[in-house]
């Protein structure tokens, strides 16, 4: 199963208490669009809108893909117990055109110090064929803008990848470089693949 999806970020249900909440928008561009180790498109522009209050969040994010748009929506809650961070949420991935079909998943996350563990338990509509189930898992180590990630899929999906990168903010512009090494299950070419991705973005505080 060739899982094509995108990154999580953000729309807002702005309620009367929004003056005490955080509302932000973002714009971005990637030299190549990879998500969870899987190639999505050559060069891709994106934008999103986020709402967060007292640990609760909701958002939407959209990006152009090779045959239309990917439009994601998500919501959830995150917090901390002592030194351990946790989150639980929902994400839906929807597409215009014939690029891909709908994915819906429950997202679970935990972090401690420099380490973060994320798990997504999802379902893929599969263009009217048998619905497919998948589990995505990732372990990330991050410090001072540098990070490394090992991740993969199980159940009706398979494949693993490694990702390493660095990001920094220069004059309020977010810059990043990522190295991606995926196996042949995720590359779709029958061989393992690698890529260097450059990203640039800008966030806006709308409070």
pLDDT in tens, 51-71: 999 999 999 999 999 889 999
pLDDT at 15: 35
**Which residues, 6 or more positions from 77, have their beta carbon under 8 angstroms from its beta carbon?**
55, 56, 57, 87, 88, 89
Please state the separation of Cα 28 from the chain's center in Å: 13
Residue 81 · residue 92 · CB < 8 Å = no
Determine the pLDDT at residue 20: 61
Alpha helices in 161-200 (DSSP H): 184-187
Q: In a 10 Å sphere around its CB, with 0-12 CB exposed, 13-18 middle and 19+ buried, how is residue 189 labelled?
A: exposed
Indicate the class that CATH gives domain 16-205.
mainly beta
Q: Considering the chain, what percentage of its residues have pLDDT values greater than 70?
A: 90
Mean pLDDT, rounded, for 122-148 = 97
pLDDT band at residue 21 under the 50/70/90 scheme: confident
Q: Which stretches of 43-189 are DSSP H helices?
A: 184-187
Encoded tokens for 1: 């199963």
- Which pTM value belongs to this model? 0.88
C-alpha span between 79 and 81 (Å, rounded): 7
- Cα 162 from Cα 177, distance rounded (Å): 14
pLDDT, mean of residues 142-161: 97
């Amino acid at each position: 199963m060739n899982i094509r999806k995108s990154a999580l970020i953000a729309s807002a249900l702005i309620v009367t208490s929004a003056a005490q909440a955080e509302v932000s928008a973002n714009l971005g561009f990637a030299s190549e669009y990879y998500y969870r180790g899987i190639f999505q498109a050559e060069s891709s522009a994106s934008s999103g809108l986020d709402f967060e209050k007292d640990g609760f969040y909701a958002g939407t994010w959209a990006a152009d893909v090779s045959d239309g748009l990917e439009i994601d929506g998500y919501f959830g809650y995150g917090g901390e117990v002592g030194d351990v961070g946790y989150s639980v949420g929902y994400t839906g991935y929807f597409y215009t055109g014939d690029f891909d079909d709908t994915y819906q998943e429950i997202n679970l996350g935990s972090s401690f110090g420099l380490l973060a563990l994320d798990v997504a338990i999802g379902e893929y509509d599969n263009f009217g064929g048998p619905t497919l189930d998948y589990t995505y898992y990732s372990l990330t180590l991050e410090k001072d803008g540098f990070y490394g990630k090992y991740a993969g899929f199980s159940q009706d999906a398979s494949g693993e990848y490694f990702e390493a990168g660095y990001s920094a903010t220069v004059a309020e512009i977010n810059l990043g470089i990522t190295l991606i090494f995926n196996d042949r299950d995720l590359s779709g070419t029958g061989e393992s693949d690698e890529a260097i991705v450059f990203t640039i973005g800008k966030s806006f505080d709308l409070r």
